[in-house]
Amino acid sequence: MSTVVDDAQKQMNKTIESTKENFVGIRTGRANPALFNGLTVDYYGAPTPLKALATIGVTDNRTLAVTPFDVSQSAAIEKAIRDSDLGVNPRRDGNVIHVTLPELTEERRKDYVKLAHEFAEKGKVAVRSIRRKAKEDIESATKDGDYGEDEGKRLQADLEKATKKATEEIDTLLHTKEKEILSV
């Protein structure tokens, strides 16, 4: 039988994974194809993820190469990259679009650290929300007689441990990402 705590732990793990994905999209000093994860291109009138329209590779530490599957969409892909909030200016070389990432300034690094803190805080808020819902479910089940008093208290203690572990993991991810961003 799956308990309320097990379900809450699964949801918390999904939240941690989501936070990791958000962190991947934050730029560090190195080029990373994941920077384009949230980027959509107007593909024949429909917003389509860039990674569905092209292969993205790293040519060196600061340069990404975007190779469209449909060459006729090169201009639309180039426009989407230029209009993104990445602050880059793509250039086309035949069928390949080269994106050179500028050096990060100290101010921009601090902005990215703030963004990482926002993502971490959103993750922690989601974890606390999961805890609150699970706690309400445990209290309700205890009140209805599904769990005894001792069992309800044990489940709540397990829930607190799971919550603490999840928030600590998010803090560890944040600390690692912060180091990555600030290393020159």
Specify the number of domains making up the chain.
2
Position 148 scores a pLDDT of 87
Q: What is the DSSP-derived secondary structure letter of residue 88? A: -
Instruction: Give the predicted TM-score (pTM) of the model.
Output: 0.75
pLDDT 10s digits, 82-94: 888 777 889 998 8
Q: Which residues contact 89 (CB under 8 A, 6 or more apart)?
A: 82, 100
Same domain flag for 140 and 172: yes
Same domain flag for 122 and 92: no
Same domain flag for 152 and 125: yes
Alpha carbon distances (Å) from 125 to 82, 119, 167, 168: 33, 10, 9, 13
Higher model confidence: residue 166 or residue 104?
166
Q: Which residues contact 56 (CB under 8 A, 6 or more apart)?
A: 33, 36, 50, 64, 65, 66, 67
Same domain flag for 18 and 66: no
Which domain, by its residues, includes 58?
A: 33-100
pLDDT 10s digits, 105-141: 888 888 889 989 999 999 999 999 999 999 999 999 9
pLDDT 10s digits, 23-71: 887 877 677 888 888 889 988 889 999 889 999 999 888 889 999 998 8
> What is the band of 182 on the pLDDT scale with cuts at 50, 70, 90?
confident
Same domain flag for 41 and 84: yes
Burial of 150 (C-beta count, 10 Å sphere; 0-12/13-18/19+): exposed
The first and second tokens of residue 53, run together, are: 């329209």
Position 84 scores a pLDDT of 82
Same domain flag for 11 and 43: no
Same domain flag for 110 and 174: yes
Q: Which one of 74, 100, 126 terminates a domain?
A: 100
Same domain flag for 75 and 88: yes
Whose structure tokens read 């607190």? 160
Per DSSP, what are the bridge partners of residue 100? 63
Percent of the chain at pLDDT above 70? 98
Q: Which one of 100, 115, 142 terminates a domain?
A: 100
Same domain flag for 54 and 85: yes
Position 1 scores a pLDDT of 32
- Which CATH number belongs to the domain containing residue 112 in this structure? 1.10.132.20
Q: Which one of 41, 65, 100 terminates a domain?
A: 100
